[in-house]
Structure 1
Amino acid sequence: MNSNFGKGFGRSGKGKATARRQSPELARNDALAHPGLATRVAAAAILSDIVQGGHTLDEKFSAEAAPSRLVGLDERDRGLARSIVTVALRRLGTIRLALSQLVEKGLPRTCGALEWDLIAGAAQVLFLDIPDHAAVDLAVRAARLDARSAPFANLVNGVLRNLIRRRDEFLAQSDPLEDDIPHWLSARWRRIYGEERAQRIAAAFGDEPTLDLTVKADAESWAERLGGRLLPTGSIRLDSHAPIPELPGYGEGAWWVQDAAAALPARILGVKPGQRVLDLCAAPGGKTAQLAAAGARVIALDRSAERLKSLSANLARLKLEATIAVGDAAAFKAEPFDAILVDAPCSATGTARRSPDVLWTKKPGDIAALAAIQAKILDRAFSLLKPGGVLVYCVCSLEPEEGEAQIAALLRRDPDAAREPIDPAALGLPAEAANADGDLRLLPFLFPHDDPRQRGLDGFFIARLKRLS
């Protein structure tokens, strides 16, 4: 432990000052009391948990996280920690490349959390509106908290100060596709989409998006009241940094947060009041809310009882009703349904705008494993559909094995399955959103805008099928 944090002072019963030696734990707690330091330490630890430990961003910032890195942080500091972690994940390759040029010999093997302190500090210097001196000072203080990284505190100071001096140079040489996308994914996207579209996908993932909302009714009026803009698809895109519960309409259940792309599958399903509808893999519940708001009698199924608690709470706030069931979508049994929505578990590579952790927690083998699960769920779902009934299948993935290939395989397996082409214009989408078969392949660079926060949407694949007999 650095000697600067090893001692404290107290007073004897007689009022004389006496020195006493603090325990390492007390010394660390005293050091963490420095304004902003605990936030940076939490951010660095969460980065390590995600990239090295395979945890998700939402998991590490949830109230149930164990162990929690956010103990003692207020809402504002938690928000700042999340901003640091999110931008560090979004631009991790660019940050690491810059640091590698500033620490040419690399970091020592036994230096504790030094790498993550540097990455958190570099994320602030390069991409966040935080004073340079604060980013450097707090990164140095964070390094001094760990006996293994404390000897390198001066290195942290020098590296980040050099980064500030060469900031424009490093940002100018950054290539999002080459640097900020894992190589196995960038190679896939080049092969699938071609160089130009792969570059545009990677560039879109470098933007920090604002919030999209789905409203129960009167979207135009709510867009004006919330100071947002109404997208051609019917979602409202905000231009606000206010906490969600403080926005007009939250308490009365007028709307819910849902990416513009994620709001499309339920619209495409086109349910009518009174229809019996199954929402498979339903949590967190945005699509369930859409179906219930349309007047359908919805069964919302998910295998996670914990996630269904959040779904139930959201429905209560929205004053909407659905039957909630815990179960395996690939084995669920019930009487046939008029309509079924399958939002299948997937690699989620299309969501990296909002969840950049997916780029660093997914592995090449995950896609094949998930595709096998998706095929089982799709077969089971189609078997639960009434003759003449409609099924919408969707995944928030850019990988064809999880989208186009799933539908092609089902059509080969089941002669009762027929594709119903989707008209992108009817949904407020450009013609390029549909593929040659009439399915939607939404890429994250759709919806261009001069403001990076206002453009784009999640990457999705959506197909609509009908049961013939």
Structure 2
Amino acid sequence: MSKSGYQTRRSAVHLLDKVMGDGRLMSDVIQAGALQKLDPADRARAQRLATETLRSLERADRLLQKHLKKTPAMTVQNVLRLATVELCQGGAAHGVINDAVEIVSKGKRTAGMKGLVNAVLRKVADKGQEDWDKLRVPRLPKWLRKPLAQAYCNEVMLEIEAAHFAGAPLDLTAKGDAAALAEAVGGRLLPSGSVRLQDAGQVTALPGFTQGQWWVQDAAAALPAKVLKAQPGEKVLDLCAAPGGKTMQIAAAGAHVTAVDDNPARMERLRENLKRVQLQAKVVVGDVMAQEGQYDAILLDAPCSATGTIRRHPDLPFAKDGSEFGDLIGMQEVFLDHAIGLLKPGGRLVFCTCSLLPDEGEVQVEEAVARWADITVDRDAVLIDGVDPAWITEEGGLRLRPDYWAAQGGMDGFYMAMLRKGA
């Protein structure tokens, strides 16, 4: 048994316990230092194992039900889930089962379950892989599936869930020539100009990372800045900017950008990203509502439910329960009104959220136009490269879904609209 493999799997179980037991997002647990004792390669593997387990949780539980008379304690259940997913995805049974048994045996409250874990996993190893592909694509938890089913038909919901289960490739935004970057990293140039890699490996080892030639950014997340079309010399405000993908796009266009966010740790990442790619921006750690001045253009990536990012963050449906929806929707309205007030006459604002919920997108824009007599929606602005006109919504915004570009690997769910202020 590999000591490294054991430590990696134990750390992955710890991540699962924090998500399933404490309702914490995996990114928050990692940021708090949960994986700091692992080397970078093992840290990445632990995160990947936990992510794959969460993505496949329904299938793992359905297989385990056949071999369990009752649900075991959470940590034991998560050990079984992790091992089941590994076994059914082709993991070597000897190493997977031995590590699972050792993880359980090391816990004072779980040591008595090592025999059960060994027996169950040997049964899973025997026939689990054969049964795995017969199970349905995992569905979202009911608290999230219900509002999304109201927004989209059942057929679309199944396609979205299939996209979530498939996971996400890695997308890059080029600082310069995207076609040259695609050739350098062995990726595919998407219609929108992003570069996609299906199996990227270690990100920091990719060509051009050290030289600051690109940054990681989902193709959908790269579109709001493309819609904004910042011009050289313009005074641009990027609100809720961390970790800085859109800030870097705006800076690369030659605009004078001020990036604002109230999260110090995430803003430190933004500074590090700017330094690596050798771009300039004014970085402000502060409250959106405290910002003053007048700007030619504003990008507001408002705090939201993040329901559009589940293909990359499958922990979200298990760490949250939807209780924050109302507060988020109210915050978006307040932020949007304040941002509109910071626009110069004739200025433009892109409002966007990485949400699949119309209340956090289409409805916000409809209501903002009703509140502000001098604000209009520029539906032509969202007709950029890679956008299907069918994605443009009734009020003139752009609705993106995880099942779009399915053959190329999908995209995050996103909403964006260009608002223009009268002169």
Question: What interval of TM-score do these two structures reach, taking the shorter chain for normalisation?
Answer: over 0.9
Which of residues 412, 420, 423 in structure 2 aligns to 1:466? 420
Aligned pairs for 1:293-332 within 5 A: 293-329=252-288, 331-332=289-290
Aligned partner of residue 288 in structure 1, secondary structure: helix
1:271 CA drift (Å): 1.2
1:231 is aligned to 2:190: yes
CA contact (8 A) 2:169 2:198 kept: yes
What CA distance in whole angstroms lies between the structure 1 residues aligned with 2:7 and 2:34? 9
For residue 353 of structure 1, what is the aligned residue in structure 2? 311
Aligned pairs for 1:242-257 within 5 A: 242-257=201-216
For residue 177 of structure 2, what is the aligned residue in structure 1? 218
1:240 CA drift (Å): 3.8
1:350-389 per-residue CA deviation (whole Å, 9 max, x = no partner) reads: 0011111111122222111100110010000000001111
For residue 43 of structure 1, what is the aligned residue in structure 2? 12
1:223 CA drift (Å): 0.7
Aligned pairs for 1:380-419 within 5 A: 380-419=338-377
Q: Aligned AA for 1:457?
A: M
1:167-218 per-residue CA deviation (whole Å, 9 max, x = no partner) reads: 2454244333xx4411121222222101000000001000122210001111
Which of residues 70, 94, 97 in structure 1 aligns to 2:59? 94
1:388-446 per-residue CA deviation (whole Å, 9 max, x = no partner) reads: 11100000000111111111111111111101104665321223322223211100011
TM-score, normalised with respect to structure 2: 0.96
1:118 is aligned to 2:67: no
1:164 CA drift (Å): 2.3
For residue 101 of structure 2, what is the aligned residue in structure 1? 140
Q: Aligned AA for 2:221?
A: A
CA contact (8 A) 2:302 2:332 kept: yes
CA contact (8 A) 1:388 1:468 kept: yes
1:54-99 per-residue CA deviation (whole Å, 9 max, x = no partner) reads: 222222233xx1xx33243222211221111001111112222222
1:213-263 per-residue CA deviation (whole Å, 9 max, x = no partner) reads: 001111111111110010000000024433122111111111111000000
Which of residues 117, 125, 128 in structure 2 aligns to 1:164? 125
1:258-295 per-residue CA deviation (whole Å, 9 max, x = no partner) reads: 00000000000011100000000000000000000000
Q: Which has the larger radius of gyration?
A: 1
Aligned partner of residue 359 in structure 1, secondary structure: helix
Count of residues paired in the alignment: 423
Q: Aligned AA for 1:288?
A: T
Aligned partner of residue 211 in structure 2, secondary structure: coil
1:55 is aligned to 2:24: yes
Q: Aligned AA for 2:23?
A: G
1:78 is aligned to 2:35: no
Which of residues 56, 67, 70 in structure 2 aligns to 1:105? 70
1:457 is aligned to 2:411: yes
What CA distance in whole angstroms lies between the structure 2 residues aligned with 1:255 and 1:172? 37
CA contact (8 A) 1:88 1:120 kept: yes
What CA distance in whole angstroms lies between the structure 1 residues aligned with 2:36 and 2:244? 28
Aligned partner of residue 334 in structure 1, secondary structure: coil
Which of residues 387, 391, 397 in structure 2 aligns to 1:433? 391
For residue 15 of structure 1, what is the aligned residue in structure 2? none
Q: Aligned AA for 1:304?
A: N
CA contact (8 A) 2:54 2:315 kept: yes
Aligned partner of residue 284 in structure 2, secondary structure: strand
For residue 5 of structure 1, what is the aligned residue in structure 2? none
What CA distance in whole angstroms lies between the structure 2 residues aligned with 1:69 and 1:270? 40
Structure 2 vs 1, CA of residues 112 and 435 (structure 1 numbering), >3 Å: closer, same or farther? Answer: closer
RMSD over aligned CA atoms reads 1.7
Which of residues 136, 139, 143 in structure 2 aligns to 1:184? 143
Q: Aligned AA for 1:82?
A: Q
The structure showing larger relative contact order (alpha-carbon pairs under 8 Å, at least 6 residues apart) is 2
For residue 336 of structure 1, what is the aligned residue in structure 2? 294
Q: Report sequence identity in percent.
A: 39
Task: After superposing the two structures, state which structure 1 stretch, 209-218 or 179-188, moved more.
Answer: 179-188
CA contact (8 A) 1:125 1:164 kept: yes
1:332 CA drift (Å): 2.6
Structure 2 vs 1, CA of residues 342 and 147 (structure 1 numbering), >3 Å: closer, same or farther? Answer: same
Q: Aligned AA for 1:60?
A: V
Gaps of 5+ in 2: none
Q: Aligned AA for 1:37?
A: Y
What CA distance in whole angstroms lies between the structure 1 residues aligned with 2:302 and 2:36? 34
CA contact (8 A) 2:352 2:361 kept: yes
CA contact (8 A) 2:226 2:384 kept: no
What CA distance in whole angstroms lies between the structure 2 residues aligned with 1:69 and 1:467? 46
Structure 2 vs 1, CA of residues 267 and 356 (structure 1 numbering), >3 Å: closer, same or farther? Answer: same
What CA distance in whole angstroms lies between the structure 1 residues aligned with 2:420 and 2:346? 6
1:131-171 per-residue CA deviation (whole Å, 9 max, x = no partner) reads: 12211111011111112211111111111122223324542
Structure 2 vs 1, CA of residues 200 and 150 (structure 1 numbering), >3 Å: closer, same or farther? Answer: same
Gaps of 5+ in 1: 1-31
For residue 325 of structure 2, what is the aligned residue in structure 1? 367
TM-score, normalised with respect to structure 1: 0.87
1:114 CA drift (Å): 1.1
CA contact (8 A) 1:93 1:181 kept: no
1:27-72 per-residue CA deviation (whole Å, 9 max, x = no partner) reads: xxxxx9844211111111111111211222222233xx1xx33243
CA contact (8 A) 2:87 2:129 kept: no
1:335 CA drift (Å): 1.7
CA contact (8 A) 2:362 2:395 kept: no
